Structure 1
Amino acid sequence: MTDSAPAPGVVDLLGVLAYAELTAFLRMAEDAALLAPSLTDRAALGDLAAMEYGHFRMLRDRLASLGADPEEAMAPFVDAIDAWHAQTKPRDWHEALVKAYVGTGVAGDFYREIARRAEPAIRGLVDEVLADESRSEFAVERVRTAIEADPRLSGRLALWARRMVGEALSQGQRLAAARPELAAMLVGDEEGEDLAEIGRLFARLTEEHGKRMAAIGLTPGP
């Protein structure tokens, strides 16, 4: 049994989120295995990776309930998301933590903005899979402790965070440009609405990014 036909752009939204969650699971599992400095950290990041996989399954199942093929829904977004991960591959444990918190966070903010125009049930699902309390606590505690122990880390990690945010926003723009129905959910399709809404969108993303950087003990920079 399937739900009623989804609104335009909803399958794209759930498809991009599903692939983002699937790759987050794979990347976090890899970082846990290769970069974690202790078994405790490896297990903690592994737990977060398992949570991301659970989110992927929720999205996959919702796509199926809408009558969409999950693989076909994810396929248009594979290249862009894979490219983002390739361009932001962490070199050490602290870069992996900042990516898990700041990089994944700004991407999540972008997807939440798209979901603002979706029906309540879809918005609720998006909010549920993007909830980041556990990831936030995990990364913030460890990065702040590391910076207190070695203040020189702050500048390097702030530059790393800004690079990831730039890459994430560029990725979002490419995705929206390639998928018109997704773009319409992001900024609306009424004449004259798009430019004003884009300005407000970037203001909101910038504000949330600043809060996240402050929480983790880094300065947002220009």
Structure 2
Amino acid sequence: MAESFDASVAFTDPEYRQAVVDLLGVIAYGEISAFERLVEDAKLAPTLEDKFALATMASAEFSHVHGLNDRIRSFGGDPFEAMAPFREAIDGFHAHTAPADWYEGLVKAYVGDGLASDFYREIAAYLDPDTRDVVLSAMDDTQHSVFVVDRVRKAIGADPRLGGRLALWGRRLMGEALTQAQRVAADRDALTALLAGGVDRPGLDLAALGRMFARLTERHSKRMAELGLDP
């Protein structure tokens, strides 16, 4: 875990400001994309109750965007300009991981979004306290997990063969999500610099970076197990 640093850095260091605007931009566009995807997935819902549950999840994703945009503005950024550089990468991720059916959509909502949430929580440790709170608030949607776990476990109980297919799907999501995260960080110098740290704030060395990805993998495996799937 990163040590805290002087919050005044948030408004006096141009490189840090750009990194935060980039980070908030990618999270905000990710939330909009998650909203759009969940609305589409709701069309595949087998019951009205399921459709309502997914619509509620979609609404929660979209509700986070306002707080993220407000924080971008507080750093002097334009939310839509901040989101624009990440559209191609995030849209590409969703194009490569379009679910084939209702259950793949549920696993993606739980495992894929969980991976993104874990990654941004890790990065939040290197932010000023106010921005960290905004990011962590946007990641807080654990109440939806009960619905997804219940539906997937019941489906696997009724058709054990489904478990093998969904396990492969979960592993594919893991690989695609990590590739996307690396691409986003590599394309934005300010984000790379944020993780590297500076003289007035902590950062990640190679060993710490390895531990972070180990934690992400461990949490992914735990989520898969919660769904009744082999990691």
TM-score (norm 1): 0.92
Q: CA deviation at 1:194?
A: 2.9
- Asked if residue 30 in structure 1 is aligned to residue 40 in structure 2, the reply is yes
- Asked if residue 205 in structure 1 is aligned to residue 216 in structure 2, the reply is yes
Q: What is the one-letter code of the residue matched to 1:165?
A: M
Cα 1:186–1:140 shift into 2, 3 Å: farther
Q: Which moved more, 1:85-94 or 1:177-186?
A: 177-186
- The 1-side partners of 2:67 and 2:168 are apart by 34
- The 2-side partners of 1:189 and 1:199 are apart by 19
- The 1-side partners of 2:50 and 2:174 are apart by 25
- Asked if residue 18 in structure 1 is aligned to residue 28 in structure 2, the reply is yes
Q: Is the 8 A contact 1:115 1:185 kept in 2?
A: no
Which residue is 1:216 aligned to?
227
Post-superposition CA distance 1:30-71 (Å, at most 9, x none): 1102x1111111111001101111011221222123321001
- The 1-side partners of 2:37 and 2:66 are apart by 16
Q: CA deviation at 1:129?
A: 0.7
Q: What CA RMSD, in Å, does the superposition of the two structures yield over aligned residues?
A: 1.8
Q: Is the 8 A contact 1:11 1:73 kept in 2?
A: yes
Q: CA deviation at 1:217?
A: 0.9
State the secondary structure of the residue aligned to 1:117: coil
Q: Is the 8 A contact 1:97 1:143 kept in 2?
A: yes
Q: CA deviation at 1:187?
A: 4.7
Which residue is 2:70 aligned to?
61
Post-superposition CA distance 1:168-219 (Å, at most 9, x none): 00000001111122123335468x9532122111111111111111111111
Q: What is the one-letter code of the residue matched to 1:163?
A: R
- The 1-side partners of 2:207 and 2:36 are apart by 37
State the secondary structure of the residue aligned to 1:152: helix
Cα 1:161–1:143 shift into 2, 3 Å: same
Post-superposition CA distance 1:83-120 (Å, at most 9, x none): 00000000100000000000111111111122110011
- The 2-side partners of 1:96 and 1:153 are apart by 13
- The 1-side partners of 2:139 and 2:204 are apart by 27
For structure 2, the residue ranges without an aligned partner over 5 or more in a row are 1-9
- The 2-side partners of 1:72 and 1:85 are apart by 21
TM-score (norm 2): 0.88
Among residues 104, 108, 114, which one is paired with 2:113 in the alignment?
104
Cα 1:193–1:81 shift into 2, 3 Å: closer
Q: What is the one-letter code of the residue matched to 2:218?
A: E
Q: Is the 8 A contact 1:187 1:198 kept in 2?
A: no
Q: What is the one-letter code of the residue matched to 2:220?
A: H
Cα 1:5–1:202 shift into 2, 3 Å: same
- Asked if residue 52 in structure 1 is aligned to residue 61 in structure 2, the reply is yes
Q: What is the one-letter code of the residue matched to 1:203?
A: A
- Asked if residue 126 in structure 1 is aligned to residue 135 in structure 2, the reply is yes
Q: Is the 8 A contact 1:13 1:115 kept in 2?
A: no
For structure 1, the residue ranges without an aligned partner over 5 or more in a row are none
Q: CA deviation at 1:131?
A: 1.2
Q: Which moved more, 1:87-96 or 1:181-190?
A: 181-190
